[in-house]
Structure 1
Amino acid sequence: MATTDTAVWRERGNPLVAGFGSGPLHGVRLAVKDVHAVAGHRLGAGNPAWLAEAVPQRAHSWAVGTLLAAGADVTGIAQTDEFAYSLNGTNAHYGTPPNPAAPGRVPGGSSGGPAAAVALGQADAGLGSDTAGSIRVPASYCGLHGLRPTHGAVPATGMLPLAPSFDTVAWLARDARTLARLGDVLLPSGGVEGQRPFRTALVARDLVALADSGVREAFGPAAAGLAERLGLKTEEVPSLGGDPAERAAAFATAQAAEVWECDGAWVSAHPGTLGPGVEARFARAAAVTPEERTAAEEVVHLGARELLAALPDDAVLLLPAASGPAPLPDEDSARKAATRQGTFRLTCLASGAGLPCLVLPRMSVDGLPVGLAVIAGRGSDRALLDLGVRSAGRGLRP
């Protein structure tokens, strides 16, 4: 395979694993992030040292097996940022997957491999994970549709854990209908008939302010246009409660404590095997004390309660999916840190509360895509997916 292919795919076939029969996803080509078990193949976690010690998986992850049973083909195993602990989409060992929607820029992470495969047309959908934005950020940077479902709605069995309290199976696609078709298979059974229809689109000014000026300028018209298209009343409020910076810092600490529980022993036993950015993140995770973890978890839980109280069942919250468009791989370090900080403050909101979040490719800044994120109440995943289909002008799915 070419160098570009190696940055996108760890293994690729024609297909790598064929789907079973002619189910509802027959013909859909999947790029599976290298944190999901694929039977007969090793799980690499974006790290060559981990891969070298891995043995072929005996069974598929629940999500992979379910999609195969619905007829989808696994085209290949796509690259991930190491241990899925990054939002950038770069990998010090395998390279940076291309971003055809923003040439020369990163694809976002940690599901950057699946996002690149879909954006390049080498797959129809990407199966990944989302802990703190790992589907939402690549969807935003690559101009794709993405869904982080309600926490626990889709079993994470057979998926490499990062921080289990926040980990979700997640997926992205080029179009809203394909995204929804995967949701029909992966999400708990039951339609949207019993749910109150969405009537209000909330906008919190303090959240929009976390984004760059270009995104802020694009967000107003994009949010208003989406609300008008869907027949929603827009309600703008100063804040949903809490300080975004404090909430993000607490989430990062709580997440880091779980990351170290999951992978700290292996990292400690394999010094020098991580890329610089991920290594620094693990070093900070190792330093989290039990007292810091407890205090952080209290802030995260408070933030979740505040968000749930501010978000009625018939409302959605609109916000930028990322603080800016995809950065350059060699972006100035201060600028890169500011972009990551602003984006993390936006993405941790749904993660901390366990809420579903849909990303729609509805903004452009200097010709580069930025996603519009839509957060709704727990269990409203299917209604969110239908919202995405309607927003694309395709009507409700049959």
Structure 2
Amino acid sequence: MIPVVDRRTWRVVGNPLVRPTGHGGLDGECVAVKDLFAVAGHRIGAGNPAWLEQAAPEAQHATVVARLLEAGASVLGIARTDEFAYSLAGTNAHHGSPPNLRAPGRIPGGSSSGSASAVATGQATIGLGTDTGGSIRVPAAYQGLWGIRTTHGAVPTGGLLPLAPAFDTIGWLTRGASLLARVGDVLLPPDSASPGELVTSPALTSLADPVVAEALGSIAATGIEWPLAPMPDWLAAMQALQAWQAWQVHGPWLTGRLDTLGPDVRARFERAASLGPEVAEAACEEVARARESIEALLGDGVLLLPSASSVAPPLDDLRALDAVRQATMQLTCLAGIAGRPAVSVPLATPDGLPVGACLVGPAGSDRALIDLAATLEQS
């Protein structure tokens, strides 16, 4: 029983909220479900009170929730998310910021913020979330957790409220590599590709703060050249296509209701509403070119780069969040554009603040990528 419910972390919580429906490799584990997934009998809130008010209870579980329950896990509760998952900060304007146990006074990272905080504080053992532009990898880095963004399309999204389907993926967070892999045994298909050599780019790593780059320096990897010049165009194209799709998904409901959003998310949706189909078409073409370039650069290689560009920013410096978001998305966009899986491995700065090392592998190599990441923990 959770004696005091922190409403910054949880929207609904039980003891448990939903009991297992079977037995298997996740017996005894408990899940914090991001408030975008259907949990039968409960509404999807999407981090927005106005959306929650009009939502109807879900008739059945999301596919991944059902699979976790069948494997022996329980659902402890429904965890907070940034509004419609359109943020990387975890600073929901309506509910506050879930606590960051490993870095008190700093943001938790979003948009899978509640799921990450529930795991980091020991209330849940598995945080179920999504990653469109970094929403598993960033909270994992900020809170010292393991996290995986799966290959695009590898895990069914039935029962998930989307943001931008071209980039949305399902992921999860744990406190150790072993459980990360056991969840993968339940949710992931067999690998269709094998990861090759671990490589890194000093140019890419230099996009992060020096203290983050220094933490990654302890991991041995082959250096490769990486062109930085086209990356601003790649990121701009991804963000434009993401915005276009987000408005196609949520615009019909948000029209006339933008005032229900917090300032940061509202600004993104206002921009999204201004984009025409010609912008989306050009962005789609640029994303396709970027994907070809990334595949040509990496092949079957596994790219080591920072999971986020900095340690978690302080809660009292929210003005800096847009700059931090842009700097981080220069790194996180690569997996999103290429549809590749990415595993975040927890590291720390000399001062003990959490950072993440991200391994981006070939599409379809999710299980082997987790195993490779686990060898870093052992070494």
Q: Which TM-score applies when normalising by structure 1?
A: 0.91
Displaced runs of 4+ in structure 1, greater than 3 A? 1-4, 194-198
Amino acid across the alignment from 1:376: G
- The structural deviation recorded for 1:26 is 0.8
Indicate the larger mover: 292-301 or 136-145: 292-301
Give the whole-Å Cα distance in 2 for the aligned partners of 1:206 and 1:384. Answer: 23
Q: Matched residues in 2 for 1:43 and 1:329: separation?
A: 27
Q: Contact (CA 8 Å) 2:193, 2:363: kept in 1 or not?
A: no
Q: CA deviation at 1:385?
A: 1.2
Of 319, 322, 338, the match for 1:353 = 338
> Which is worse superposed, 295-304 or 24-33?
295-304
Is 1:278 the counterpart of 2:265? The answer is yes
Select 2:207's aligned residue among 207, 210, 213. 210
Q: Does residue 277 of structure 2 align to residue 290 of structure 1? A: yes
Name 1:99's counterpart in structure 2: 100
Match for residue 307 of structure 2 among 314, 321, 336? 321
1:358-392 Cα deviation digits (max 9, x unpaired): 00002326321110000010100010111123322
Return the letter of the residue paired with 2:173. L
Does the 8 Å CA contact 2:108/2:143 hold for their aligned counterparts? yes
| Structure-2 change in CA distance of 1:197 and 1:110 (3 Å) | closer
Q: Distance in 1 between matches of 2:3 and 2:330?
A: 36
Distance 1:299 1:329 in 2: 35
CA distance in 2, matches of 1:278, 1:4: 26
The counterpart of 1:247, out of the listed 234, 253, 256, is: 234
Change (3 A) 1:108 1:336: same
Decide which of 344, 347, 361 is 1:376's aligned counterpart: 361
Q: Tell me if 1:338 matches 2:323.
A: yes
Unaligned runs of 5+ in 1: 225-233
> What's the CA shift string for 1:258-284, capped at 9, x where partnerless?
000000111113241001100011011
The Cα offsets for residues 152-187 of structure 1, whole Å up to 9 and x where unpaired, read as: 000001000000011011111010011110000000
For 1:58, what is the secondary structure of its paired residue? coil
Q: In structure 1, the residue corresponding to 2:217 is in which secondary structure?
A: helix
241 and 328 in structure 1: CA distance in 2 versus 1, 3 angstrom threshold: closer
User: Secondary structure of the equivalent of 1:92?
Assistant: coil
Q: Which residue of 2 aligns with 1:16?
A: 17
Question: What is the distance in 1 between the residues matched to 2:215 and 2:376?
Answer: 17
RMSD of the alignment, in Å?
1.7
Q: How many residues align?
A: 378
Q: Is the 8 A contact 1:35 1:43 kept in 2?
A: yes
The Cα of 1:197 is off from its aligned counterpart by 5.8
> How far off is 1:332 after superposition?
5.5
TM-score, L = length of structure 2: 0.96
**Contiguous gaps of at least 5 residues in structure 2:** none
1:325, 1:365 within 8 Å by CA — same for their partners in 2?
no
Report the Cα offset of residue 148 of structure 1.
Answer: 0.3
Bigger Cα displacement from structure 2, 354-363 vs 304-313: 304-313
Alignment partner of 1:6: what SS?
A: coil
- The 1-side partners of 2:172 and 2:332 are apart by 16
Displacement after TM superposition at 1:2 (Å): 8.9
Distance in 1 between residues matched to 2:231 and 2:92, nearest whole Å: 29
**What is the CA-CA distance between 1:240 and the residue it aligns to?**
5.2
